Protein backbone atom coordinates (compact mmCIF):
# COMPACT_ATOMS: atom_id res chain seq x y z
CA UNK A 1 0.00 0.00 0.00
CA UNK A 2 1.36 3.40 -0.95
CA UNK A 3 2.23 5.88 1.77
CA UNK A 4 1.20 9.51 1.47
CA UNK A 5 2.37 12.75 3.07
CA UNK A 6 1.12 16.28 2.84
CA UNK A 7 3.44 19.20 1.98
CA UNK A 8 3.28 22.64 3.59
CA UNK A 9 1.17 23.83 0.68
CA UNK A 10 -1.32 21.06 1.38
CA UNK A 11 -0.48 18.97 -1.68
CA UNK A 12 -0.57 15.20 -1.22
CA UNK A 13 2.66 13.49 -2.26
CA UNK A 14 3.12 9.73 -2.52
CA UNK A 15 6.10 7.88 -1.11
CA UNK A 16 7.32 6.97 -4.58
CA UNK A 17 7.19 10.62 -5.66
CA UNK A 18 9.29 11.56 -2.63
CA UNK A 19 11.83 8.86 -3.41
CA UNK A 20 12.06 9.90 -7.03
CA UNK A 21 12.52 13.54 -6.02
CA UNK A 22 15.40 12.48 -3.76
CA UNK A 23 17.14 10.67 -6.60
CA UNK A 24 16.53 13.51 -9.04
CA UNK A 25 18.36 15.84 -6.66
CA UNK A 26 21.27 13.39 -6.57
CA UNK A 27 21.38 13.18 -10.36
CA UNK A 28 21.51 16.97 -10.64
CA UNK A 29 24.99 16.96 -9.11
CA UNK A 30 26.35 15.19 -12.19
CA UNK A 31 26.39 18.51 -14.02
CA UNK A 32 26.23 18.94 -17.77
CA UNK A 33 27.73 16.40 -20.19
CA UNK A 34 30.72 17.19 -22.36
CA UNK A 35 29.96 19.02 -25.60
CA UNK A 36 32.04 16.35 -27.39
CA UNK A 37 29.46 13.67 -26.64
CA UNK A 38 26.65 12.71 -29.01
CA UNK A 39 23.43 11.21 -27.64
CA UNK A 40 20.97 9.41 -29.89
CA UNK A 41 17.94 7.19 -29.18
CA UNK A 42 18.53 3.52 -29.87
CA UNK A 43 17.03 0.07 -29.60
CA UNK A 44 18.56 -3.36 -28.99
CA UNK A 45 16.03 -6.03 -29.81
CA UNK A 46 12.84 -5.07 -27.93
CA UNK A 47 14.68 -2.79 -25.48
CA UNK A 48 14.99 0.94 -26.02
CA UNK A 49 17.73 3.15 -24.66
CA UNK A 50 20.25 5.77 -25.66
CA UNK A 51 23.61 5.63 -27.41
CA UNK A 52 26.50 7.76 -26.21
CA UNK A 53 29.21 8.26 -28.82
CA UNK A 54 32.32 10.38 -29.14
CA UNK A 55 35.27 10.77 -31.50
CA UNK A 56 37.69 8.65 -29.44
CA UNK A 57 35.42 5.59 -29.21
CA UNK A 58 37.15 2.54 -30.64
CA UNK A 59 35.15 0.51 -33.20
CA UNK A 60 33.57 -2.57 -31.67
CA UNK A 61 34.03 -1.45 -28.04
CA UNK A 62 30.69 -0.94 -26.24
CA UNK A 63 29.59 -0.35 -22.67
CA UNK A 64 26.18 -1.83 -21.92
CA UNK A 65 25.24 0.58 -19.15
CA UNK A 66 22.63 0.34 -16.39
CA UNK A 67 21.80 3.59 -14.63
CA UNK A 68 21.26 3.92 -10.89
CA UNK A 69 18.20 5.20 -9.06
CA UNK A 70 17.19 2.51 -6.58
CA UNK A 71 15.27 0.58 -9.27
CA UNK A 72 12.51 3.21 -8.99
CA UNK A 73 14.09 6.28 -10.63
CA UNK A 74 16.58 7.44 -13.24
CA UNK A 75 16.92 7.10 -16.99
CA UNK A 76 19.60 7.14 -19.68
CA UNK A 77 19.10 10.90 -19.90
CA UNK A 78 19.56 11.49 -16.15
CA UNK A 79 22.97 9.76 -16.29
CA UNK A 80 24.32 11.19 -19.52
CA UNK A 81 27.19 13.01 -17.82
CA UNK A 82 28.37 10.03 -15.78
CA UNK A 83 27.99 7.59 -18.67
CA UNK A 84 29.84 10.02 -20.93
CA UNK A 85 32.79 10.31 -18.55
CA UNK A 86 33.13 6.55 -18.31
CA UNK A 87 32.73 6.10 -22.08
CA UNK A 88 35.42 8.71 -22.77
CA UNK A 89 37.77 7.15 -20.21
CA UNK A 90 37.28 3.74 -21.77
CA UNK A 91 37.37 5.02 -25.36
CA UNK A 92 34.07 3.23 -25.94
CA UNK A 93 30.58 3.86 -27.17
CA UNK A 94 27.86 3.21 -24.61
CA UNK A 95 24.28 2.02 -24.77
CA UNK A 96 22.26 2.99 -21.69
CA UNK A 97 19.40 0.55 -21.18
CA UNK A 98 15.95 1.99 -20.50
CA UNK A 99 14.94 -0.86 -18.24
CA UNK A 100 11.54 -0.95 -16.58
CA UNK A 101 11.25 0.68 -13.16
CA UNK A 102 9.32 -0.21 -10.01
CA UNK A 103 6.73 0.00 -8.66
CA UNK A 104 5.07 -0.02 -12.10
CA UNK A 105 7.17 -3.05 -13.09
CA UNK A 106 8.63 -5.19 -10.32
CA UNK A 107 11.50 -7.66 -10.05
CA UNK A 108 12.70 -9.38 -12.20
CA UNK A 109 11.53 -7.12 -15.05
CA UNK A 110 14.77 -5.08 -15.00
CA UNK A 111 16.92 -8.23 -15.22
CA UNK A 112 14.90 -9.52 -18.15
CA UNK A 113 15.28 -6.20 -19.95
CA UNK A 114 19.02 -6.31 -19.37
CA UNK A 115 19.56 -9.76 -20.85
CA UNK A 116 17.27 -8.91 -23.78
CA UNK A 117 19.38 -5.81 -24.44
CA UNK A 118 22.54 -7.93 -24.36
CA UNK A 119 21.04 -10.41 -26.82
CA UNK A 120 20.09 -7.51 -29.05
CA UNK A 121 23.59 -6.06 -28.86
CA UNK A 122 25.15 -9.35 -29.98
CA UNK A 123 22.53 -9.72 -32.72
CA UNK A 124 23.58 -6.30 -34.04
CA UNK A 125 27.03 -7.68 -34.82
CA UNK A 126 29.00 -6.52 -31.77
CA UNK A 127 31.39 -9.22 -30.57
CA UNK A 128 31.04 -10.21 -26.90
CA UNK A 129 34.80 -9.71 -26.51
CA UNK A 130 34.20 -6.01 -27.17
CA UNK A 131 31.43 -5.59 -24.58
CA UNK A 132 31.77 -4.41 -20.98
CA UNK A 133 28.74 -4.39 -18.68
CA UNK A 134 28.69 -1.30 -16.46
CA UNK A 135 26.51 0.48 -13.95
CA UNK A 136 26.25 2.69 -10.89
CA UNK A 137 24.32 2.21 -7.64
CA UNK A 138 21.37 -0.10 -8.24
CA UNK A 139 22.47 -0.19 -11.89
CA UNK A 140 25.77 -1.66 -10.76
CA UNK A 141 23.94 -4.42 -8.92
CA UNK A 142 21.68 -4.90 -11.94
CA UNK A 143 24.72 -5.27 -14.22
CA UNK A 144 25.89 -8.18 -12.05
CA UNK A 145 22.40 -9.70 -12.04
CA UNK A 146 22.25 -9.47 -15.83
CA UNK A 147 25.70 -11.05 -16.12
CA UNK A 148 24.50 -13.88 -13.88
CA UNK A 149 21.53 -14.37 -16.23
CA UNK A 150 23.85 -14.30 -19.26
CA UNK A 151 26.04 -17.01 -17.74
CA UNK A 152 23.11 -19.20 -16.68
CA UNK A 153 21.58 -18.89 -20.16
CA UNK A 154 24.89 -20.14 -21.65
CA UNK A 155 25.25 -17.02 -23.79
CA UNK A 156 28.71 -15.81 -24.83
CA UNK A 157 30.19 -13.86 -21.94
CA UNK A 158 31.23 -10.22 -22.30
CA UNK A 159 34.82 -9.12 -21.77
CA UNK A 160 34.27 -7.76 -18.27
CA UNK A 161 32.11 -5.79 -15.87
CA UNK A 162 32.65 -2.53 -13.98
CA UNK A 163 30.53 -0.97 -11.25
CA UNK A 164 30.61 2.28 -9.29
CA UNK A 165 29.16 2.17 -5.77
CA UNK A 166 27.00 -0.87 -6.60
CA UNK A 167 23.92 -1.79 -4.56
CA UNK A 168 24.27 -5.55 -4.62
CA UNK A 169 22.63 -6.64 -1.35
CA UNK A 170 18.93 -5.79 -1.15
CA UNK A 171 18.68 -7.58 2.19
CA UNK A 172 20.61 -4.60 3.62
CA UNK A 173 22.90 -6.79 5.71
CA UNK A 174 26.14 -4.84 5.29
CA UNK A 175 27.71 -3.40 8.43
CA UNK A 176 28.57 -0.18 6.56
CA UNK A 177 24.83 0.60 6.36
CA UNK A 178 25.00 1.40 10.06
CA UNK A 179 28.65 2.34 10.37
CA UNK A 180 28.53 5.02 7.67
CA UNK A 181 25.00 6.37 8.03
CA UNK A 182 26.31 9.62 9.54
CA UNK A 183 28.98 10.14 6.88
CA UNK A 184 26.95 9.30 3.75
CA UNK A 185 25.17 12.47 2.65
CA UNK A 186 23.54 10.82 -0.39
CA UNK A 187 21.99 7.61 0.90
CA UNK A 188 20.24 6.29 3.98
CA UNK A 189 19.24 2.73 4.82
CA UNK A 190 15.57 3.75 5.03
CA UNK A 191 15.65 5.02 1.45
CA UNK A 192 17.16 1.74 0.29
CA UNK A 193 14.62 -0.23 2.33
CA UNK A 194 11.75 1.61 0.65
CA UNK A 195 13.24 1.13 -2.81
CA UNK A 196 13.80 -2.59 -2.18
CA UNK A 197 10.20 -2.96 -1.00
CA UNK A 198 8.86 -1.31 -4.18
CA UNK A 199 11.17 -3.34 -6.45
CA UNK A 200 10.93 -6.76 -4.81
CA UNK A 201 7.32 -6.65 -3.57
CA UNK A 202 7.17 -10.15 -2.02
CA UNK A 203 10.31 -11.66 -3.56
CA UNK A 204 13.21 -12.87 -1.44
CA UNK A 205 15.78 -10.04 -1.06
CA UNK A 206 18.55 -12.66 -0.87
CA UNK A 207 17.70 -14.14 -4.27
CA UNK A 208 20.88 -14.03 -6.35
CA UNK A 209 19.24 -12.14 -9.24
CA UNK A 210 18.06 -9.47 -6.80
CA UNK A 211 21.21 -9.43 -4.67
CA UNK A 212 24.28 -10.57 -6.61
CA UNK A 213 26.29 -10.23 -3.39
CA UNK A 214 24.92 -13.71 -2.64
CA UNK A 215 25.54 -15.15 -6.12
CA UNK A 216 28.12 -17.68 -7.24
CA UNK A 217 30.34 -15.69 -9.63
CA UNK A 218 32.06 -18.73 -11.11
CA UNK A 219 33.06 -18.33 -14.78
CA UNK A 220 32.47 -14.59 -14.70
CA UNK A 221 34.78 -12.37 -16.79
CA UNK A 222 37.17 -9.96 -14.99
CA UNK A 223 35.53 -7.57 -12.51
CA UNK A 224 36.39 -4.06 -11.33
CA UNK A 225 34.35 -2.37 -8.59
CA UNK A 226 34.93 1.07 -7.06
CA UNK A 227 33.24 2.49 -3.95
CA UNK A 228 33.78 5.16 -1.32
CA UNK A 229 35.03 4.36 2.18
CA UNK A 230 32.40 6.52 3.90
CA UNK A 231 29.31 5.44 1.94
CA UNK A 232 26.73 3.02 3.30
CA UNK A 233 27.13 0.73 0.26
CA UNK A 234 30.84 0.19 0.87
CA UNK A 235 30.30 -3.39 2.05
CA UNK A 236 28.27 -4.27 -1.04
CA UNK A 237 31.40 -3.68 -3.10
CA UNK A 238 33.46 -5.79 -0.71
CA UNK A 239 30.92 -8.63 -0.81
CA UNK A 240 31.11 -8.76 -4.60
CA UNK A 241 34.88 -8.98 -4.30
CA UNK A 242 34.56 -11.82 -1.79
CA UNK A 243 32.17 -13.76 -4.01
CA UNK A 244 34.49 -13.33 -7.00
CA UNK A 245 37.50 -14.46 -4.96
CA UNK A 246 35.53 -17.49 -3.74
CA UNK A 247 34.93 -18.42 -7.40
CA UNK A 248 38.53 -17.72 -8.50
CA UNK A 249 37.25 -14.97 -10.79
CA UNK A 250 39.71 -12.12 -11.51
CA UNK A 251 38.55 -9.13 -9.46
CA UNK A 252 39.72 -5.71 -8.34
CA UNK A 253 37.75 -3.90 -5.64
CA UNK A 254 39.00 -0.40 -4.85
CA UNK A 255 37.68 1.52 -1.84
CA UNK A 256 38.60 5.21 -1.92
CA UNK A 257 39.40 6.85 1.43
CA UNK A 258 37.19 9.76 2.42
CA UNK A 259 34.87 9.31 -0.55
CA UNK A 260 31.09 8.96 -0.49
CA UNK A 261 28.50 7.40 -2.75
CA UNK A 262 29.25 7.73 -6.46
CA UNK A 263 32.12 10.17 -5.90
CA UNK A 264 32.90 10.01 -9.62
CA UNK A 265 30.11 12.56 -10.03
CA UNK A 266 32.51 15.27 -8.81
CA UNK A 267 34.59 15.87 -11.91
CA UNK A 268 37.02 18.12 -10.02
CA UNK A 269 37.91 15.63 -7.29
CA UNK A 270 41.28 13.96 -7.76
CA UNK A 271 39.85 10.64 -6.55
CA UNK A 272 37.16 10.83 -9.23
CA UNK A 273 39.80 11.38 -11.89
CA UNK A 274 41.87 8.46 -10.61
CA UNK A 275 38.84 6.18 -10.42
CA UNK A 276 37.66 6.99 -13.94
CA UNK A 277 41.19 6.58 -15.29
CA UNK A 278 41.48 3.16 -13.64
CA UNK A 279 38.06 2.06 -14.89
CA UNK A 280 38.90 3.34 -18.36
CA UNK A 281 42.17 1.41 -18.42
CA UNK A 282 40.31 -1.74 -17.38
CA UNK A 283 37.75 -1.27 -20.17
CA UNK A 284 40.42 -0.71 -22.81
CA UNK A 285 42.61 -3.59 -21.65
CA UNK A 286 39.86 -6.20 -21.40
CA UNK A 287 38.51 -5.39 -24.86
CA UNK A 288 41.92 -5.25 -26.54
CA UNK A 289 41.38 -8.60 -28.30
CA UNK A 290 38.15 -7.39 -29.89
CA UNK A 291 39.86 -4.19 -30.97
CA UNK A 292 42.65 -6.12 -32.70
CA UNK A 293 40.09 -8.27 -34.54
CA UNK A 294 38.13 -5.18 -35.56
CA UNK A 295 41.15 -3.48 -37.09
CA UNK A 296 42.70 -6.60 -38.64
Tell me phi and psi for residue 12, to 5 degrees.
-90, 130
Residue 7 maps to a domain: no
**What is the predicted pLDDT for the residue at 13?**
58
* Structural domains in the chain (count): 1
Strand partners for 216: none
Alpha helices (H) along the chain: 15-28, 80-90, 109-123, 138-152, 176-179, 189-200, 234-246, 270-286, 288-295
Tell me phi and psi for residue 201, to 5 degrees.
55, -105
Q: How far apart are CA 25 and CA 33, in angstroms?
A: 16
- Give the residues of the chain that fall short of pLDDT 70: 1-13, 289-296
**What is the predicted pLDDT for the residue at 82?**
98
Residue 8 maps to a domain: no
Residue 9 maps to a domain: no
> The domain that contains 123 carries what CATH number?
3.40.50.1820
Closest CA to 272 of 56, 31, 67, 68: 31
Beta strands 4-6 and 12-14 are: antiparallel
Residue 278 maps to a domain: yes
**What is the predicted pLDDT for the residue at 267?**
86
The Cα diameter of the chain in Å comes to 66
Residue 63 maps to a domain: yes
**What is the predicted pLDDT for the residue at 3?**
43
Closest CA to 60 of 126, 141, 144, 122: 126
Which residues lie below 8 Å from residue 288, measured CB to CB, with a gap of 6+? Answer: none
Q: How far apart are CA 257 and CA 81, in angstroms?
A: 24
Expressed as residue numbers, the domain containing 260 is: 14-295
Residue 140 maps to a domain: yes
Provide the whole-model pTM.
0.94
Instruction: Please give the C-alpha separations between residue 85 and each of 3, 12, 77, 80, 113, in angstroms, as whole numbers.
Output: 37, 38, 14, 9, 24
pLDDT digits (tens, 9 = 90+) for 148-157: 999 999 999 9
Residue 1 maps to a domain: no
Q: How far apart are CA 91 and CA 121, in angstroms?
A: 18
Residue 5 maps to a domain: no
Amino acid sequence: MALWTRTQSGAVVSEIEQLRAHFTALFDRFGLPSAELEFTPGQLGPITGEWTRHARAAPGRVLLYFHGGGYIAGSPESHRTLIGRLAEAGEAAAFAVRYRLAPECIYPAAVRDGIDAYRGLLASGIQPSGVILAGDGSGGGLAFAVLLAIRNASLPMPAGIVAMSPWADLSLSGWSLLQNQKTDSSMHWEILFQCARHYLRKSNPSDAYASPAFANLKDFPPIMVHAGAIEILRDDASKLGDRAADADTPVSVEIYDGMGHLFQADAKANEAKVSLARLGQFIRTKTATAQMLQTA
